[in-house]
Copies of this chain bind each other. A is one copy, B any other.
Amino acid sequence: MQTEQNEKFSKKPPVTPSSIGNYLLDKLHEKGVRHIFGIPGDYILKFNKLIEEHPHIEFIGTTRENTAGHMADAYARMQGLGVACITYGVGISIVNSTAQAYVESVPTIVISGAASDSEFRRSRRLHHLINTSVTGERDTTQLEIFKNITIGQTILDDPETAAEEIDRIIDLCLEMKKPVYIELPRDMIEAPIANHPAIFHNIHMGKSHLFEKEIQKILHASRQPVIWIGHEISRFHLSDSVLAFAEKFHIPIVSSLLGKTTVSEHHPLFLGVYNGELSSAHLLDYLKDTDCIFILGVILSDIETGIFTAKIDQTHQIIASKAEISIDKKSHHNYCFEEFIAGLQHIPCDAPFRNPAKFVREKVSFLPEREKKITSPRTFTCIESHLQPGNIVVTDIGDSLFGASNFVLDKNCFIACPYYASIGFSIPAAIAVQLAKPAQRVVCIVGDGAFQITCTELSTAIRYGISPILILLNNHGYGTERPILDGTYNDVGNWDYTALTKVFKGGVGYKITTEQELDEALTKAFSDPQQLYLIEVELGQTDFSIGLQRFMQLVTG
């Protein structure tokens, strides 16, 4: 085997020696990366130069590192892989967006510049460095920090092993759909890389078990099953498999919030987003008589389960995620998530279930009343009435998320972070998504607290000609926190938000107070895909969407 591989390799034409930096870029390009997000700095500057010179990858300069991480995250959700590059130490605020990618299973790569070994030999007391107490040795503080929030790490300090390390770490990222960390000492960026035979990094565990018999038996015994799908199904590209299984047996599908639009929400078997008691009435109605639940790729977190009100204790319960499988509460080993999900559609079916629930939702319409003050629930109705096929909705946390959770959308047309829930995600995410999918208009819904965290990225959008529609729900503070425990600490400055289009020299701003104004502004925005729109909707401090109102009832009892 070894001989055969070496033989194959020796037959290849001699490869022009590439640098470590270029090898890395070519590999990223091969995996679908067309844009890299970040901020330059002296330890990473040569890599920025290589990106600039690369024929197929564009560097997108952001206003800071944490937002570059959010962009890489959202880009990966659309494109399969996202990359951010930072300089050492001072770029470390990216840990927040990296932690989110880790928790929500998104394959991203953080590439950090670093000082060279020869610099460390002279003195460890270098700018941007964190642990300066041991002279002569590399500062590994950043590596240690990233070990907590990435699935794999490497320092590319050896041209002999760099190629293999790059392959290993990218394979790991794509296999596990979790972030990885690559540290690139600045003298290595242009160092010639040693050739290495292609090694396939098989990190599967042995032969996996598909549990066909067990599942078949459960299906036989069930009357009213349901499939609850989560984000891991879309991350691992398993939507078609799940759909084939559901269609074969006529089993209705619900999705988690994080897994929203894993399948098209127009599919006749799709019932809606299930998050416990927060779900729509028609969905709860069907689930009330359910006796069998497939929980596929869902993480049963507080928000995903409607603060633990989801009914997961059915007569039969199949839980399958990347990390674990349990069938009727019995955990199993020898299991491969992808193979298990792909195998479900091949289970023999004597007769499909006869009465799957059907939920046909009529097209939402919005008839504005001219002078009527706009409210949060009406804002969401108005937005949904304007949505066109293929539009991608990106929401922030809070009212933005809960208000939009019942929009009926196409496949892969919704992005949010309801598990880690880092406010401010939506603006950089919307920009990255628009970049990844230029033909699909992105609609971003964001509250004012979240907006203030990452709004400078509107500048990035305008610089690079990226034109999403941003709808800013101005409820004057951290609205979601007011019903929990209110105080002046929940206030934020009340900006003249649309004046930011003047600051950033681009985009069109509207400040909305009535239904008519919102309807008109959205009509304009949706018909003008070349411009970024910033539409501020003026709301009362406690004017919440129906979704958030119900969430608040749960949280505050």
Contacts and interface: CB of A to CB of B under 8 A. Distances in A.
Nearest to A144: B148
Contact of A487 (B52, B102, B130, B453): B52
Contact of A303 (B127, B303, B484): B127
A147 to B, nearest CB: 9
Interface string A473-498: 00000100100110111111111110
A476 to B, nearest CB: 12
Nearest to A323: B133
A510 interface: no
B125 A301 contact: yes
Contacts of A422: 89-90, 128
Dominant SS at the A interface? loop
A332 interface: no
A504 B420 CA distance: 30
A63 B96 contact: no
Contact of A92 (B48, B96, B130): B96
A499 interface: yes
B145 A95 contact: yes
A185 to B, nearest CB: 16
B123 A308 contact: yes
Contacts of A459: 452, 492-493, 495
A527 B106 CA distance: 53
Interface string A101-135: 01100000000000000000011011111111100
A75 interface: no
Given A481-B42, A497-B503, A127 B421 contact: yes
A45 B484 contact: yes
Interface residues of A, number: 86
Given A148-B131, A148-B144, A481-B41, A488 B299 contact: no
Interface in A262-310: 299-304, 308
B485 A46 contact: yes
B504 A48 contact: no
A92 B99 contact: yes
Contacts of A125: 299-302, 304
Most central of A91, A128, A129 by chain B CB within 10 Å? A128
Given A127-B419, A130-B99, A495-B505, A52 B456 contact: no
A126 B305 CA distance: 10
A149 interface: yes
A424 interface: yes
Contacts of A299: 125, 132
Given A93-B66, A452-B63, A481 B40 contact: yes
Contacts of A40: 478, 481, 489-490
A89 B132 contact: no
Interface in A134-166: 141, 144-145, 148-149
Given A456-B455, A493-B463, A503 B504 contact: no
Contacts of A337: none
A302 B126 contact: yes
Contacts of A131: 148
Interface of A: 40-42, 45-46, 48-49, 51-52, 59, 61, 63-64, 66, 89-96, 99-100, 102-103, 122-123, 125-133, 141, 144-145, 148-149, 299-304, 308, 323, 418-424, 452-453, 455-456, 459-460, 462-463, 478, 481, 484-485, 487-497, 499-500, 502-505
Given A45-B489, A459-B493, A495-B504, 6 more contacts: A61-B489, A61-B491, A92-B99, A123-B302, A127-B421, A128-B420
